[in-house]
Structure 1
Amino acid sequence: MIGNKPTLAVKKREIFGWAMYDFANSSYTTVVVTFIYSAFFVNYIVPPELAHLKNTFWSIAVALSTALAIILAPFVGVLCDFSGNKKQFLAWCTLASVLGTAGLFFVDPGQVGLGLLFLVISNTGWMLSESFIASFLPELATRKNIGKVSGIGWGIGYIGGLLSLLLMFRIITSSAQLDVAAYIDENQLAMIFIALFYALGALPTFLLVRERAQPQPGFANAKLTTLLKAGTERILAMKGLVEEYPVLFRFFIAFMVYSAGISVVVKFFGIYAQEEIGITGSTLVLIGATLQLSSMIGAIGFGFLEDRLGCKSTILLSLLWWLLGIIGIYGLTPLATLFGLSQESMFTVLAFVAGSALGATQSASRALVGLLAHPKDSALLFGLWGTFGRFAIIIGMSFGPISDLLGRHTALLFIMLYFILGALMLMAVPIGKALRSTVNDVSI
């Protein structure tokens, strides 16, 4: 569990440096996964003769990278805990993601296999890095401000996502209808700029955040083979870890279910907007910017609210907000008619509503893990948090084949189901009782 004070005095510049990693890696998930490259991949990299499988190909890219992250995250996490070298492992994951992103520059139309390769490399590195940067949170925050600090990190992250989208405005200027060759070239070039954005944005993290993790007794300067052996034994003893953190693992299950709904929104937003509603080009980027802005407001605003209401109540409130947004998108046509708006305008409003819940749900979930995880197991438990989040993505990727079979509009019902089930499961988790046994003044 997180204590009243970190073991070393935390400087404000360290919190800034930590939050800057969210700023940096948000460029990847915003541009590559959610808004720009996802739609470009299914429409221009996948050849016309395979167009009936384009959503499935995208699901394969996400599912494969997710499976790798599931396998690697707990293992690398426990190596971090034993060796005390979290920053080093974070650096390697960052490098993999940056190089994989830059590799997308070389993928031409029809080269689906090469595109899948670089997507898997970049997305796996991004997923692992997300878990490891989160494991620094309990070291930099107290139990009284962890929600606020986590919210500020997510908020700054969405600023990074917003700026990366605005950068796309300057790079992708051609119309696919008027000059498809130029449009393809610009989308490829954009990947180089996103790789640079990611790498340069992450530098403050490595320059400003101090490594507080200490090698566990007997593992100072241990050889890699020794760490691998100890890490394997720790993972094989997972049953004991579940017994040590029963409430946290119950939360992981609920988190996995509602995160499946979030993963669909993040991974298919650009595709849905472009192919179901007909939003393309600068309009899609503008709606993406709107979503990033609302996510930033939600992450920071709910972060301050979180320290008053508690993490569990904040998550439940955000899930209700999600439901309202998805229900609105499902009834987009009659809703737009009711308010006298075009479908594009109504979709933008609903994206703002859903976006404000995005940052809140993710920030509060991360903060809750920080409250329940003991510092000696922080990297491992945040790695497991990431693992359950990756399982959620695999579950959510059923949206691809379901939408190919039933249509995207009908498939939206599955997203609602994930949020409802996740909320019901979370309500049954006795998080307050678990915290009161160790921290009497934490409100959940």
Structure 2
Amino acid sequence: MPSHRKQQWSWALYDWGNSAFATTVLAGFFPIFFNQYWAADVAPQTQTLYQGITATIASVVVMLLAPWLGMVADQRAAKKRFLAGFTALGVVTTAALYLVGQGQWLWAMGLSVLGRIGFFGGLSFYDALLINVARADEMDRVSSLGYSLGYLGGGVLFAVNVAMALKPELFGLADAALATRVAFVMVALWWLVFALPLFRFVPEGAASAGEGGWSAILSTFGQLRQHKSIWLFLLAYWLYIDGVDTVIVMAVDFGMKLGFASDSLIVALLLVQFVGFPAALVFGWLGERLGTRQAIFMALAVYAAVTVWAYFLQTVGQFYAMAAAIGCVQGGVQALSRAYYARLIPADQAGEFFGFYNMLGKFAAVLGPLIVGITAQLSGSPRLAILSLLVFFVAGGVLLAKVQEPQAR
């Protein structure tokens, strides 16, 4: 394999590895195991509160650290070193969940906070390394390759972990609780093993010049004001990714509120993963053929239609169809947004600018579910709550239309 392609595949394999944390831990097993094992004696509404606190603490920490650490990584040519540190944090704390006994919900919360910081904190440096492995005309394809492998890799291990939990005796395990604890260790090893090619083959790039400290952060804000295309895109991205992330984290809760069985919800999660694998590759191709922004518009149109569809949803079969529709566009909108932003920003400040990019993504992960929750509380309707996301996709698309194409700048 030519060195250039080896670098691209090595970069993308990191997504294959760390996506297991997003699927098995974040979306799948941790919420269920927390409620039924670690915090089984805690009131249901308090369980929800504790999980919300866990997610919020991790998000706030990443939001505060990402721009500053990105700037330091650029100036010291240390993106891979920072990524290695966050990866180690995530791997170790995820594996340590195996040791948390029944009723020890506080330990589970603490380790989950650290694991989430390791996962989300490393994304800024991983995203920034895209510029080091792909030319401008390759970014749609390579970014989509990463998300595609992420869906497949995360889905494969999640499917194995689900089988372990449902039929533990087939794997020589005593019960579903032990199978779930073993699954956390498997996620950690999966993440570690598939991260190694990136650290071996992906180049770091040169250090950037410039001042350090918080003055550099203020300087970057000044650059954002000067480059209308960058801050307009970030505002558009913040709005529509708010909707995308909220669909991801609230879909299972929405299905439960409609009375669907937990087994059906797990099937829907798996469906998103395996549809997302080829769909992300297709969107990389669409980005190259139709234009990146046009392909993002297509994805946002599907999301807008899905939020309206969810309002009228009635059956499990329709829920599966909606999951498949989301799987068709979820990886595409994420991958192409990353590639589009990479073309807009200064290459020698990629770490810092991607720090702001992921900071907005984490802020969206805090705000979106809050809007849905408030709407549900005021209206008493989970359908209206999901429908409230329509404004994010429409407003994000309108702002994206005002962004000047990178090639013209």
Look up the match of 1:167: 160
The residue identity in structure 2 corresponding to 1:320 is A
1:268 and 2:250 equivalent? yes
Q: Secondary structure at the match of 1:420?
A: helix
Deviation at 1:163, TM superposition (A): 0.8
Q: Secondary structure at the match of 2:389?
A: helix
Look up the match of 1:239: 221
Look up the match of 1:325: 306
Look up the match of 1:215: 207
Q: Residue 129 of structure 1 is aligned with which of 113, 116, 122?
A: 122
1:371 and 2:343 equivalent? yes
Q: CA 1:352/1:188 → structure 2, altered by over 3 Å: closer, same or farther?
A: same
1:431 and 2:404 equivalent? yes
The residue identity in structure 1 corresponding to 2:310 is I
1:113-166 residue CA offsets vs partner (Å, 9 max, x unmatched): 222211211111111211211111122112222111111111111111111112
Tell me how far apart the structure 2 counterparts of residues 410 and 53 of structure 1 sit (CA, whole Å): 24
Look up the match of 2:331: 359
Look up the match of 1:414: 388
The residue identity in structure 2 corresponding to 1:353 is A
1:95 and 2:88 equivalent? yes
Q: CA 1:155/1:16 → structure 2, altered by over 3 Å: closer, same or farther?
A: same
Q: Secondary structure at the match of 2:43?
A: helix
Q: Give me the CA root mean square deviation.
A: 2.3
Q: CA 1:277/1:294 → structure 2, altered by over 3 Å: closer, same or farther?
A: farther
Tell me how far apart the structure 2 counterparts of residues 108 and 416 of structure 1 sit (CA, whole Å): 42
Q: CA 1:105/1:407 → structure 2, altered by over 3 Å: closer, same or farther?
A: farther
Tell me how far apart the structure 2 counterparts of residues 293 and 328 of structure 1 sit (CA, whole Å): 22
Of 129-138 and 102-111, more deviation after overlay is shown by 102-111
Q: Does the Cα contact within 8 Å between 1:66 and 1:124 map onto a contact in 2?
A: yes
Q: CA 1:147/1:67 → structure 2, altered by over 3 Å: closer, same or farther?
A: same
* Structure 1: gaps spanning 5 or more residues: 1-8, 176-180, 219-228, 334-342, 438-444
**Matched pairs, number:** 401
Deviation at 1:274, TM superposition (A): 4.3
The residue identity in structure 2 corresponding to 1:302 is F
Q: Does the Cα contact within 8 Å between 2:132 and 2:203 map onto a contact in 1?
A: no
Q: How does 1:183-262 map to 2 (within 5 A)?
A: 183-211=176-204, 213-217=205-209, 230-262=212-244
Look up the match of 2:362: 390
Of 37-46 and 360-369, more deviation after overlay is shown by 37-46
Of 297-306 and 184-193, more deviation after overlay is shown by 184-193
Q: Does the Cα contact within 8 Å between 2:286 and 2:292 map onto a contact in 1?
A: no
Tell me how far apart the structure 2 counterparts of residues 422 and 57 of structure 1 sit (CA, whole Å): 31
Deviation at 1:271, TM superposition (A): 3.6
Tell me how far apart the structure 2 counterparts of residues 216 and 417 of structure 1 sit (CA, whole Å): 39
Q: CA 1:103/1:86 → structure 2, altered by over 3 Å: closer, same or farther?
A: same
Tell me how far apart the structure 2 counterparts of residues 48 and 278 of structure 1 sit (CA, whole Å): 24
Tell me how far apart the structure 2 counterparts of residues 68 and 197 of structure 1 sit (CA, whole Å): 25
Task: Return the TM-score normalized by structure 2.
Answer: 0.91
Look up the match of 1:29: 22
Q: CA 1:38/1:269 → structure 2, altered by over 3 Å: closer, same or farther?
A: farther
Q: Residue 106 of structure 2 is aligned with which of 110, 113, 130?
A: 113
Tell me how far apart the structure 1 counterparts of residues 354 and 154 of structure 2 sit (CA, whole Å): 23
Tell me how far apart the structure 2 counterparts of residues 64 and 15 of structure 1 sit (CA, whole Å): 33
Tell me how far apart the structure 2 counterparts of residues 235 and 393 of structure 1 sit (CA, whole Å): 22
Q: CA 1:45/1:248 → structure 2, altered by over 3 Å: closer, same or farther?
A: same
Tell me how far apart the structure 2 counterparts of residues 253 and 239 of structure 1 sit (CA, whole Å): 13
Tell me how far apart the structure 2 counterparts of residues 294 and 329 of structure 1 sit (CA, whole Å): 19
The residue identity in structure 1 corresponding to 2:249 is K
1:410-438 residue CA offsets vs partner (Å, 9 max, x unmatched): 321222232222222222x2222x5302x
Tell me how far apart the structure 2 counterparts of residues 256 and 109 of structure 1 sit (CA, whole Å): 38
Q: Secondary structure at the match of 2:166?
A: coil
Of 403-412 and 134-143, more deviation after overlay is shown by 403-412
Tell me how far apart the structure 1 counterparts of residues 239 and 50 of structure 2 sit (CA, whole Å): 23
Deviation at 1:60, TM superposition (A): 2.0
Q: CA 1:284/1:413 → structure 2, altered by over 3 Å: closer, same or farther?
A: closer
Deviation at 1:404, TM superposition (A): 6.0
The residue identity in structure 1 corresponding to 2:94 is T
Q: Does the Cα contact within 8 Å between 1:158 and 1:292 map onto a contact in 2?
A: yes
Deviation at 1:45, TM superposition (A): 3.5
1:287 and 2:268 equivalent? yes
The residue identity in structure 1 corresponding to 2:326 is A
Deviation at 1:407, TM superposition (A): 4.9
Deviation at 1:98, TM superposition (A): 1.2
